Amino acid sequence: MSHPVLEVKNLSVSFGSREGALTAVNDISFHVDRGEVLGLVGESGSGKSVTGLAILGLIDAPGRIGANSSIRLDGQELVGMPEHELRRLRGRKLAMIFQDPMTTLNPVLRIDTQMIEAVTAHENVSERAARARAREALQRVGIPSPDERLLAYPHQFSGGMRQRVAIAIALLHRPALLVADEPTTALDVTIQAQIISEVQELASQTGTAMVWVTHDLSVVAGLADRVAVMYAGRIVEQGSVVDVLERPLHPYAHGLIGSVPSRNKRGSPLAQIPGMTPSLGRLPPGCAFHPRCPRATDICRGEWPEATAYPGGRTARCYHPHLENEVAA
Amino acid sequence: MLVYLIRRIAQAMLVIAVMATLVFFAVYAIGNPIDVLASPQADQIELAAISQRLGLDRPLWEQFGIFVWNALRGDLGTSFVYAEPAAKLILQRLPATFELAFTALAIAVFVGIPLGVYAGLNPDSLGGRSIMGGSILGFSLPNFWQGLMLILIFAVILGWFPAGGRGQTATVLGIESALFTLDGLKHLILPAMNLALFKMALVIRLARAGTREVALQDYVRFARAKGLSRSRIVGVHILKNILIPVVTILGLELGSMIAFAVVTETVFAYPGMGKLLIDSIGRLDRPIVVAYLMMTVVIFVVINLVVDIIYAAIDPRVRLSEVKG
Ligand SMILES: Nc1ncnc2c1ncn2[C@@H]1O[C@H](COP(=O)(O)OP(=O)(O)OP(=O)(O)O)[C@@H](O)[C@H]1O
Ligand code: SF4
Ligand SMILES: [Mg+2]
């Protein structure tokens, strides 16, 4: 009961290549409490998707999870769990939805096939009962005439409808945790908003906690309770949405949110930060952000700064944080 | 769907008409059958008599006209050598060749797909590499040589199977076939293997490439995230997607298997259509060659049509767009 739903400690994921291992996720720790939504933000390539896949145990060779990594779901360790046990958790206690609804459903299988198999993978029920469950799930995500839609193929659905189907599948078994990897990025703005509010409502009904990966700060502001900001495979700052979005400590987070007046901050996409996203193969020594950081000094080029705790349960990895933002206003 | 079918059938008819013209004139250009048919001692009068009897003395366009007219009535000419209708002679050999081609196809599919999928899922494993290595051999060694090796190893050295010929046939449900007797099957295995090897190598490559590509798709990842078993993911989600290219190519290849069973039939002295063709070319038995080529064209066209229909049946996206179009 005292466990968080998800507790990730010192998670590292590396991909072996000829030139040596690339560390896509480097020693990150975070937790998600029951019913809570954690927003995971960062530039492209910062390791958000890899983090999500690692939680589901879907990192394939040549990817490897680092030795000290720990991922606990309701207190149960997932790292090193045998595949057949992990399989029983996936789709039942742990679910994931992906960015592109055009590609997450199998194009040659009917919707009913894809939904029924998701039911029967975890429950020993008749095909009839499974179909009824599938029908009900489609109804819950607002798909009209579900009986008819069950017989359709994915290409007969719009993008928004497909993502609704994926969400319906993901929530079939009322999972404890849903990892949503930018599920609305590929959709129109109005549909985005609808889907986000639907997922939010469904998740609160089923008590599902969520890790929501996104580029869009307005989504984080509207949906998440806490937020973790990733840069080059590390979490550089995490804390409550209000703290991080309104009063970022880390210069990278500060840059992301930009210098727009605070009223508009929440509705804006990530601001562009001058400079290039570093490639994982050639990370600069020390704090990987230093070539782009306006506050960088010599010390930043030495070692990565440790994660430091600040009031309000936030942490940041920086030698020169925006301390003027430290105390709650 | 009906409009689509009618359009496709009209196309097929056109192809057959064009091919008929080409085939007739091409075969005409091969040589004068009189030189082969008549005895060397024959004099001018005898030669003229034979020419007249076979209709070879008439102008080319007239011969073509007669050929088209007869072909439209289903008569593809009479063999110069056997003095029997060419179509009948070929049809007698057809079952043997079909047996061979379909058995070979079945071997290629039921052995090739599992091997290819395995190699696609485990590209770096020893098994995966060996399968790929084997398929390269299947591609690069000449077909007749593979046939000779099969005979040498399995017929001569091991003595497991007969070295050639077609075995006994039996009639089941009105179909006479060597597939229904043990002796027939024994005779069929080696030539079918020989004919299958190249196609099997092709299927392995297609299945492997398809599997590697499909395994990386989001929908496979999503299927895993749903907690499906590996056998379900491979056997349903991956297999159904790779079947589309495999069926398309194999369907097209089936035609070539029937048409070019020639080499295998020759190596194994197997009495099919291919062997008849080779013999007839040697004797310049023009009607048989023409009839064979015409029937092959028809078989090709029909197979293409059937493949398109099967294709539409397994890929819902094609099905829908064709219905609309
Ligand atoms: N299978 C893989 N093999 C090798 N490298 C990989 C693999 N998957 C991811 N990576 C690397 O890991 C890094 C992080 O990728 P990830 O997909 O997590 O980024 P992301 O934060 O999700 O970006 P985006 O916003 O573009 O989705 C990238 O540099 C990527 O090249
Ligand atoms: S550690 Fe230095 S370089 Fe890195 S973010 Fe902080 S100030 Fe900038
Ligand atoms: Mg991503």
The verdict on a CB contact (< 8 Å) between B221 and A106 is: no
Tens digit of each residue's pLDDT (9 = 90 or more) over B36-68: 666 667 777 777 777 777 777 777 788 888 878
- Asked if the model's pLDDT at residue B310 lies above 80, the reply is no
Q: In this structure, is residue B98 part of a structural domain?
A: yes
Q: Are A11 and A40 in contact (CB under 8 A)?
A: no
User: Own/partner pairs for A262-269, CB < 8 Å, 24+ apart?
Assistant: A265/A217, A265/A221, A266/A217, A266/A218, A266/A221, A266/A222, A267/A218, A267/A221, A268/A217, A268/A218, A269/A215, A269/A216, A269/A217, A269/A218
- B79/A299: higher pLDDT: A299
Q: Is the CB of A37 under 6 A from ligand 1?
A: no
Residue nearest to atom 4 of ligand 2 (CA): A287
Å from CA of B95 to ligand 3 middle: 57
Q: Are A226 and A242 in contact (CB under 8 A)?
A: no
Question: Measured at the alpha carbon of residue A289, what is the angle toward residues A284 and A290, in degrees to the nearest 5?
Answer: 75
Closest Cβ opposite residue A108 in set B218, B225, B315: B315
Q: Of A200, A228, A204, whose CA–CA distance to A214 is shortest?
A: A228
CA A208 – CA A236 distance, rounded (Å): 26
CATH code for the domain in which residue B150 is found = 1.10.3720.10
- Look at chain A and report how many structural domains it folds into: 1
The verdict on a CB contact (< 8 Å) between B227 and A169 is: no
Our CA-based measurement puts residue B122 at a distance from the nearest CA of chain A, in whole angstroms, of 11
> pLDDT band at residue B265, thresholds of 50, 70 and 90?
confident
Among all residues of chain A, which has the CA nearest to that of B315? A108
Q: Is the CB of A110 under 6 A from ligand 2?
A: no
- Domain span holding position B256: 92-282
- Domain span holding position A305: 255-329
Q: Of A255, A278, A272, whose CA–CA distance to A24 is shortest?
A: A278
Give the nearest ligand 2 atom to A295 CA: 7
Q: What is the DSSP letter of A221?
A: H
CA B121 – CA A165 distance, rounded (Å): 28
Left if phi > 0, otherwise alpha if psi is -120 to 50, otherwise beta: which for B277? alpha
Contact with chain A for residue B323, Cβ under 8 A: no
Tens digit of each residue's pLDDT (9 = 90 or more) over B223-260: 999 999 999 999 999 999 998 888 878 877 887 787 76
> pLDDT band at residue B324, thresholds of 50, 70 and 90?
very low
Among all residues of chain B, which has the CA nearest to that of A94? B225
What value does the mean pLDDT take over residues B295-306?
81
Q: In this structure, is residue B47 part of a structural domain?
A: no
Q: In this structure, is residue A273 part of a structural domain?
A: yes
Give the nearest ligand 1 atom to A45 CA: 19
Residue nearest to atom 1 of ligand 2 (CA): A318
Q: In this structure, is residue A228 part of a structural domain?
A: no
Torsion A162-A166-A169-A175 (CA) sign:
negative
Structure tokens at A74: 């309701």
Q: Are A200 and A194 in contact (CB under 8 A)?
A: no
Q: In this structure, is residue A9 part of a structural domain?
A: no
Q: In this structure, is residue B237 part of a structural domain?
A: yes
The verdict on a CB contact (< 8 Å) between B223 and A155 is: no
Q: In this structure, is residue A271 part of a structural domain?
A: yes
Q: Which residues are CB-contacts of B324 (< 8 A; sequence separation ≥ 6)? A: none
What value does the mean pLDDT take over residues B268-292?
83
Q: Edge-to-edge, what's the strand order for the sheet holding A308-310? A: A94-97, A177-181, A209-213, A37-42, A226-231, A234-240, A314-316, A308-310
Please tell me whether residue A248 adopts helix, strand or coil conformation: coil
Give the nearest ligand 1 atom to A46 CA: 21
Q: In this structure, is residue B322 part of a structural domain?
A: no
Give the nearest ligand 2 atom to A290 CA: 3
- Asked if the model's pLDDT at residue B140 lies above 50, the reply is yes
Residue nearest to atom 11 of ligand 1 (CA): A24
Please tell me whether residue B31 adopts helix, strand or coil conformation: coil
- Look at chain B and report how many structural domains it folds into: 1
Å from CA of A213 to ligand 3 middle: 8
> pLDDT band at residue B210, thresholds of 50, 70 and 90?
very high
Contact with chain A for residue B125, Cβ under 8 A: no
Closest Cβ opposite residue A90 in set B226, B244, B317: B226
Q: In this structure, is residue A216 part of a structural domain?
A: no
CA distances from B321 to A70, A155, B4 (A): 49, 11, 11
The pLDDT mean for chain B works out to 81
Q: Where are the alpha helices (DSSP H) in chain B?
A: 2-30, 33-37, 44-54, 60-72, 86-121, 126-140, 143-150, 182-215, 218-225, 230-232, 239-259, 262-267, 273-282, 286-314, 316-324
Q: Is the CB of A236 under 6 A from ligand 2?
A: no
**What residues have a C-beta under 5 A from ligand 3, the ion?**
A 49
> pLDDT band at residue A263, thresholds of 50, 70 and 90?
very low
Please tell me whether residue A208 adopts helix, strand or coil conformation: coil
Q: In this structure, is residue B52 part of a structural domain?
A: no
Our CA-based measurement puts residue B36 at a distance from the nearest CA of chain A, in whole angstroms, of 58
Our CA-based measurement puts residue B135 at a distance from the nearest CA of chain A, in whole angstroms, of 25
> pLDDT band at residue A88, thresholds of 50, 70 and 90?
very high
- Asked if the model's pLDDT at residue A280 lies above 60, the reply is yes
* pLDDT of A261: 42
Å from CA of B219 to ligand 3 middle: 15
Q: Are A66 and A13 in contact (CB under 8 A)?
A: yes
The verdict on a CB contact (< 8 Å) between A108 and B232 is: no
Please tell me whether residue A42 adopts helix, strand or coil conformation: strand
Residue numbers of B between 185 and 244 with CB closer than 8 Å to A: 217-219, 221-229, 232, 236-237, 240-241, 244
Task: List the beta bridge partners of residue A209.
Answer: A177
Tell me the pairing of strands A209-213 and A226-231. unpaired
Tens digit of each residue's pLDDT (9 = 90 or more) over B145-188: 888 888 788 877 887 887 777 777 777 766 677 777 777 777 88
Å from CA of A51 to ligand 1 middle: 9
Å from CA of B207 to ligand 1 middle: 27
* pLDDT of B267: 84
Task: Please state, as a whole number, how many other Cβ atoms lie within 10 Å of the Cβ of residue B323.
Answer: 12
Q: Are A55 and A29 in contact (CB under 8 A)?
A: no
What value does the mean pLDDT take over residues A164-185?
90
Tens digit of each residue's pLDDT (9 = 90 or more) over A103-130: 899 999 999 999 999 999 999 999 999 9
Structure tokens at A176: 């404890």
Task: Please state, as a whole number, how many other Cβ atoms lie within 10 Å of the Cβ of residue B318.
Answer: 14
* pLDDT of A129: 92
Q: Give the best residue of A18, A89, A106, A151 to mutate against chain B (max B CB count within 10 A).
A: A106
Q: Is the CB of A63 under 6 A from ligand 1?
A: yes
* pLDDT of A262: 47
* pLDDT of B323: 46
Q: In this structure, is residue A246 part of a structural domain?
A: no
The verdict on a CB contact (< 8 Å) between A109 and B237 is: yes
Tens digit of each residue's pLDDT (9 = 90 or more) over A210-260: 999 998 888 888 889 999 999 999 999 999 998 898 888 999 988 887 644
CA distances from A188 to A139, A144, A196, A268 (A): 22, 20, 12, 16
What value does the mean pLDDT take over residues A42-68?
90
